[in-house]
Structure 1
Amino acid sequence: MSAAPPDNDVLWARGIVKSHHGTPALRGVSLGVQVGEVLAVTGPRGSGKSTLLGCLSALLPVDEGEVWFNSSPVHTLGRTGRARLRRDRFGFVGSQPHLVPELTARENVALPLLLAGAGNKAAYTAADEWLERLDIADTRRLRPERLVQSQRQRIAVARALAPLPPVVFADDPTAPLHREAADQVLRILSSAARSHQLTLVLATHDPELARYADRSVALADGRLTPPAAPTPAPGTGPVAVAAAGTGSSAVSATPR
């Protein structure tokens, strides 16, 4: 029987192996993420960042290894169980906002709350609050086609945060944005996670954006490697860089 994950790790993985159509994407990755931590996963395109987030978030089943959420096994869940876990406990922001084109900004943000069973008043109140916090309240009645890319991406951030999920996964959320807009989105996302004590797992190919995290790990060719320490961003927590171990590429969470 394998050892139970640490009590203060909201996410815990050991020896994750995952291939896509026979091509290895993760090669024995082990990782722990503490409750309330902002963790950056860096690495070039094709290094396995998206696959790692997919395995941690129950989007992808692992080929080998274990994934745990709040000390409950994820790797043993079937497709329905994984879908329920994603719907009820996780928030997502991708490199593209993937908004519903027929819905307004307000309706897009309220949608996950409504799907989870929240009443109309509670869902739309939360949507209005997050649109205000993200400085896009004036877009609430507009559909995505009338908005610029940075506005759509902030709406996607609001949609992920509105249900206040325990964990938010952000997979290259600033990839299509220029530097100023990217910094703004990351600043808002990380600040909102900290203010509401949410765990944020951020994947980015830009190591400079890791300065918004409390800690960063780097992937290369499906394995964890020692990342370069970025310059901390003003107003953010310290970045604790963890070196990868050998064999299983073990990297565990450390207190901030």
Structure 2
Amino acid sequence: MAPPDNDVLWARSLHCTLGGTQALSGVSVGVREGEILAVTGPRGSGKTTLLRCLSGELLAQQGEVWFNSSPVHTLPAARRERLRRERFGWIGPDADLVPELTAWENAALPLMLRGVPHRAARTAAGEWLDRLDIGACARTRPHGLTRSQRQRTAIARALAAGPSVLFADEPTAALHRADGTQVLRTLAAAARSHGITVLLATHDGEVAALADRTVTLLDGRRAGSVPPASGAEGVAACSLSV
């Protein structure tokens, strides 16, 4: 079965076992281009595993994953790594910055690893740091940044590379609620203004309300796909200029 033409990401019947535990049991999902899709569910429901499978980081034991109508699940490891580097972005619950590098160097690192000239990479990184309100911290190393500033730097790193799809796995879990809400709204607005598809894993209903649509997992199975309860307000709240 071919994936739908309007789905930038499409997965069918994913089964994945990790450490002897069934993390995914027959999960299927499609994500439209430019959509923000929230993947919700309690801790241990399979959210991170699903994102890892969709991004090509992890291969499911059974099932298919397609990106832009091309199979990901059959690609060799080197080509999946190239796909993640050039087309996908990833933000985790921790910033995972390189401690020896400044904020702008961390944000520019994926571009420089891709071979983008130093000046162009620095300009792109600086623009995103400015949009995320931490341009003044560009020359500061991670140990001199607050937790929020480190996470914003990680978001700038993901966005500066110009991904087609951004995977955000509990990206504000380590932040205070007010700080996390502001960061998420900025991320959502940036994604919408640049047509970036976002998969946002969260167990927080208020976070999920920022998405266009919600898919819920329970014990590794898809429990349903419904619009978030406050979706209208969530979309409106994202109409910030970035």
TM-score (ref. length: structure 1): 0.89
CA distance in 1: counterparts of 2:179 and 2:229, whole angstroms:
19
Question: Which is helix-richer, 1 or 2?
Answer: 2
Deviation at 1:227, TM superposition (A): 6.1
- Contact 2:213/2:225 (<8 A) preserved: no
Q: Which runs of 5+ in 2 are unaligned?
A: 238-242
* More displaced stretch, 123-132 vs 221-230: 221-230
Q: Deviations 1:68-87 (Å, cap 9, x if unpaired)?
A: 00111011112212111111
Contact 2:87 2:164 in 1 (8 A): yes
Residue 36 of structure 1 aligns to a residue whose secondary structure is coil
Partner AA of 1:214 in structure 2: D
For residue 104 of structure 1, the aligned residue among 99, 102, 105 is: 102
1:165 aligned onto 2:174: no
Asked whether 1:196 is paired with 2:213, we answer no
Q: CA deviation at 1:226?
A: 2.9
CA distance in 2, matches of 1:198, 1:163: 12
Contact 2:2–2:69, Cα closer than 8 Å, also in 1: yes
Cα distance in structure 1, aligned partners of 2:231 and 2:177: 16
1:50 match:
48
Shift in Å, 1:232 = 3.1
TM-superposition CA deviations, 1:36-86 (whole Å, max 9, x none): 000000011100000000000001011000000011101111221211111
Work out the CA distance in 1 between the residues paired with 2:225 and 2:64. 24
**Structure 2 match to 1:250:** none
Once residues 35 and 227 of structure 1 are traced to their aligned partners in structure 2, the CA distance between those partners, rounded to angstroms, is 17
The residue number in structure 2 matching 1:249 is none
**2:64 matched to which residue of 1?**
66
Structure-2 residue corresponding to 1:218: 216
In 2, Cα distance between equivalents of 1:128 and 1:210? 29
Of 180, 190, 194, which residue of structure 2 is paired with 1:182?
180
Task: Count matched residues.
Answer: 236
Aligned to 2:38: 40
Q: Is the 8 A contact 2:211 2:234 kept in 1?
A: no
- The residue that corresponds to 2:207 in the other structure is 209
Tell me the distance in 2 between the aligned counterparts of 1:113 and 1:202. Answer: 23
Q: How does 1:102-141 map to 2 (within 5 A)?
A: 102-141=100-139
What letter matches 2:148 in structure 1?
A: S
Name the structure 2 match of 1:15.
Answer: 13
Contact 2:212 2:231 in 1 (8 A): no
Match of 2:235 in 1: 236
Q: Deviations over 1:114-151 (max 9, x none)?
A: 11111111100001100100000010000000011000
Residue type at the aligned position of 1:208: E
Structure 1 regions of 5+ residues with no counterpart? Answer: 239-256
Identity of aligned residues (%): 61
Cα distance in 2 for partners of 1:106, 1:157 equals 12
SS state at 1:236 partner: helix
Partner amino acid for 2:177?
A: R
Report Cα offsets for 1:183-228 as digits up to 9, x if no partner.
Answer: 0111011110000001000001112211110111111000111367
Is the contact made by 1:210 and 1:230 (CA closer than 8 Å) also made in structure 2?
Answer: no
2:125 partner amino acid: A
Give the root-mean-square deviation of aligned CA atoms. 1.4
Distance in 1 between residues matched to 2:206 and 2:132, nearest whole Å: 22
Counterpart contact for 1:38–1:199, Cα < 8 Å:
yes
Match of 2:24 among 4, 26, 29: 26
Matched residue SS, 2:231: coil
- In 1, distance between residues paired with 2:180 and 2:152? 10
For residue 3 of structure 2, the aligned residue among 2, 5, 28 is: 5
